Amino acid sequence: MARTQQKVAKTRGIKCSIHSMICVFIAVLVLGIVYMTGESKKLSHDWRENKNRGRSLSQCNLFLGKWVYDNKSYPLYREQHCLYQFDGVACEKDGRKDLN
């Protein structure tokens, strides 16, 4: 009787591991399909963007056209309002006078 129970326990363990492997395989397969579908959409979008970019570059000629006057006053920002400026390049903070 004990041997029969051991055989049943072994076959249950094997069946469980086979079922687990099948579940893992199906999960990996589904995730792979989802990933590849997303990548293919991204690749086709990137390809279309590059195609359009090439078309616009072929129509753009740097040497034809007119210069546009930049009518803004300089500097375009103030150091005290710039959160990303380091102290090493903060001329106004160091007392530089010719910033007009």
Kindly report, residue by residue over 38-95, the tens digit of the pLDDT.
766 666 666 666 666 655 556 777 788 887 777 777 667 777 777 777 777 777 777 7
Q: Is residue 98 part of a domain?
A: no
- Report how far residue 98's alpha carbon sits from residue 75's, in angstroms, rounded to the nearest whole number: 11
Q: Is residue 38 part of a domain?
A: yes
- Which of residues 30 and 67 earns the better pLDDT score? 30
Q: Is residue 61 part of a domain?
A: yes
Asked which of 4-8, 25-29, 47-51, 59-63 is least confident by mean pLDDT, the reply is: 4-8
Look at residue 26 and tell me whether its pLDDT is greater than 90.
yes
Which pLDDT score is estimated for 24?
Answer: 93
Q: Is residue 62 part of a domain?
A: yes
Q: Is residue 94 part of a domain?
A: no
Q: Can you give the pTM of this predicted structure?
A: 0.33
Which pLDDT score is estimated for 8?
Answer: 54
Number of domains within the chain = 1
Q: Is residue 95 part of a domain?
A: no
Measured between its terminal Cα atoms, the distance across the chain in Å is 100
Contacts of residue 79, defined as CB under 8 A and 6 or more positions apart, other chains included, come to 85, 90, 91, 92, 93
- Print the domain residue range for 51: 2-89
- Report how far residue 7's alpha carbon sits from residue 47's, in angstroms, rounded to the nearest whole number: 59
- Measured over the CA atoms of residue 93, residue 96, residue 99 and residue 100, the dihedral's sign is positive
Which pLDDT score is estimated for 3?
Answer: 60
Look at residue 25 and tell me whether its pLDDT is greater than 90.
yes
- Measured over the CA atoms of residue 40, residue 45, residue 48 and residue 50, the dihedral's sign is negative
Q: Is residue 100 part of a domain?
A: no
Q: Is residue 99 part of a domain?
A: no
